[in-house]
Amino acid sequence: MSSIRSAANSRTWLLSTPHTAYALRVSDRELPAHLHWGAPLTLAQAAAMAPHGPVYGVGVDGPGHPEEYLVAGGARFGVSSLQVQFSDGTRPVQPVLVGEHVEEESGGATLTLSYADEHYPLTIDLHYRVHDGCDVIERWTTLRHPADPPAFVTRADSACWTLPPRPDYRLSHVTGHWSSESQVERVTLARAETTLTSRRGLTGHHANPWVMVDAGDATEDAGEVWGAALAWSGSWRITVDRSPTDRVQLFGGYGHDALTWRLAGDDCLRTPVFCGLYSDGGFGAASRGWHEHVREHVLPRPDEVRPVVYNSWEATGFAVDVAGQQRLARLAAPLGVELFVMDDGWFGKRLSDNAGLGDWTPNPDRFPDGLTPLIDEVHRLGMRFGLWVEPEMVNPDSDLYRAHPDWVLHSANRARTEVRQQLVLNFARPDVAAWAHGWLDGLLRDHKIDFLKWDFNRPFTEAGWPEAADGADRLWIDHIQAVYDLLDRLRADHPRLRVESCAGGGGRVDLGILAHTDEVWTSDNTDAYDRLSIQYGFSQVYPAAIMAAWVTDSPNWLNGRVTPLRFRFHVAMAGVLAIGGNLTEWSPEELAEAADLVAQYKRIRPIVQHGRQYRLAPPGAPVTAVQYVSRDGAESVVFAYRPAPTFGRHPQPLPLRGLDPAATYRDKDTGTQHPGALLLTHGLPLTLPTGDYASALVTLIRV
């Protein structure tokens, strides 16, 4: 059980989770002091703690104790969580406590600490939430200024997380670019402000809104790790501040530099959740903690078994028509595919990426009788039907843009930068959001569509709204919130609907979008070898149940690499399996092998999608491996990948994780029995095919 309790005599609050504790102390005339984030404590122990003070004194080292939320003003010289300018030009904030409240909820509790500026009508509510059975703590902030003239907010972080003193610190995060997302970096944390950010209006391929910090000695299986992840799908900023005297704090929130948000009257800024997680079991245990949080407290349908998908994009590109799609569907169904998805090219004058976005009616030349004949054929074959859409975008060469050129993000007297021959629609405008809901709702009501692949292929530019006389910068927030609201409304009205988040590959992967969708497209790079490192980085925070992974053609379209079909399947089977190759060119032998591998996946997917994941060996090792263990511990699945053989050497046995050392496990395929203790210590013997890009799938059953 998790709980939130207070010690009235010391004004101390203790947040307890199954394996961790978080403590803070409240003051009447300043924001609360941070006490502890780490191993479990009793309330009495927390109440007896003294905040970690400055090394050289107030005014030199900053505030006399680490604060839970830093405001600009006073003897604070580092990062500010909150920056406000009042109508008379005053910037410092002087908070006074006005309330403390705990709300007990089904499965958890929320603490709210309410502050008000002692002179101006600004209120600051700090929120902390815990969930039963989960070590992740959620924090966010609510700001109000219910009077005119307004205040102007230039930074509003969701939270600030403080780490305990350690001899050294190391920062882990991911970086990358299009088709090379989620590349893990672990570096010594500089004594400086290290900022990860996106100024693009979307999460981004180049970074992802999470960080982990350890003392430099954590491994996959041991050591303390502190992590924080932001639940937001627009522009964001996370700053890791290591002071010259080694105070480390993690700041995170939406927005970026140069934005200003007007706050007055009924306006409210409710920041996105900035989650924190402590683990003493290394990076692997930290990842499993994040996976559990996503499954239990983020995803709308966490218990769903994700279907096997076929997507037509790599097979057809924009050359889409009803006959070609029906032919692909007839080839996909015998493989065991459960959901057939038609990608880009089905609407308007969409013969390439130069035109058509915004005109969401079937192309009459390619679909003379509409979508119904294709959908009916897909359903006759026993599959569900899905469709690619990009609702937030428009081509200048479209009827929509010609009718409503003012609907896009733009600035007065400035050119409109096209990326991929398209512009971004301003979903902060109520009329644009209503238009998008109208055609999407009509499409779903008029057709038996089970799935939308929701794409977002370019960043914001010229992110203005000339018609908005005041507060145009709010569109950076309001656009994303409108997308969330639209997704929720569509899902409520169409309960069978599944949605995949896509943004030119993995450009919109975050805890925010996952609360409104079912899975994400991991990367446009479908090469199986490259996917090993992409999926390794992805798994640091996000579970396999949301990681869409395709089996496509060889040579791969992106890099020309040739890999065996078995290797491609085994890599994709470590997530949500899909097929994206041109099945009309697959041989009968390849189709038969694919059907067999799909059947294997269906037997193991409850373990892969809902089990506990263990990264046994990273990309770059002689054999890369990942293991999944069912929630009850009765079954385990191991994938092993050897990109290239080492002459004269057989692969070493692979030590496993998460098994019962007192149990015996039987290899489902060979019948060989292995003592659990030996699997954990001496390892699982591996048999891999000869040649490059060899792989193995082993299923173990507890006997």
Query: Phi and psi of 655, rounded to 5°?
Result: -60, 130
Contact yes or no for 276/289 (Cβ under 8 A): no
Catalytic residue (choose from 450, 455, 473, 530):
455
Whole-angstrom Cα distance, residue 396 to residue 409?
13
3-class DSSP state for residue 333?
helix
Q: Partners of 684 in the beta sheet? A: 654
642-662: b (≥16 Cβ within 10 Å) or e:
bbebeeeeebeebbbbbbeee
Catalytic residue (choose from 125, 473, 524, 553):
524
Query: Phi and psi of 506, rounded to 5°?
Result: -95, 40
Whole-angstrom Cα distance, residue 164 to residue 676?
37
First to last CA, the chain: 32
Amino acid present at 458 = R
Residue 353, both tokens: 């990426």
DSSP strands (E only) in 384-496: 384-389, 393-394, 423-424, 451-454
Burial class (CB in 10 A: 0-12, 13-18, 19+), 83: buried
Tell whether the torsion through CA atoms of 640, 646, 650 and 654 is positive or negative: negative
Asked whether the bond before 149 is cis by omega within 30 degrees of 0, the reply is yes
79 Ramachandran zone, left/alpha/beta (phi>0; psi -120 to 50): beta
Q: Is 168 marked active-site?
A: no
Q: Is 455 marked active-site?
A: yes
Closest CA to 497 of 575, 384, 392: 384
Residue 304, both tokens: 């769903």
Whole-angstrom Cα distance, residue 94 to residue 71?
8
Whole-angstrom Cα distance, residue 302 to residue 306?
10
CB-facing half-sphere around the CA of 418: CA atoms within 13 A: 11
3-class DSSP state for residue 295?
helix
Q: How far is CA 583 from the centre of its chain?
A: 31
321 Ramachandran zone, left/alpha/beta (phi>0; psi -120 to 50): beta
CB-facing half-sphere around the CA of 553: CA atoms within 13 A: 17
Alpha helix positions (H), 447-564: 475-493, 511-514, 528-538
Whole-angstrom Cα distance, residue 237 to residue 248?
16
Asked whether the bond before 675 is cis by omega within 30 degrees of 0, the reply is no
Q: Partners of 674 in the beta sheet? A: 665
Per-residue CA distances from 612 to 258, 292, 491 (Å): 42, 8, 28
H/E segment holding residue 5: strand 3-7
Angle at 685 between CA 681 and CA 691, to 5 degrees: 135
H/E segment holding residue 430: helix 430-446
Spatial CB neighbours of 403, under 8 Å, sequence gap ≥ 6? none
Whole-angstrom Cα distance, residue 401 to residue 215?
53
Positions annotated as catalytic residues are: 455, 524
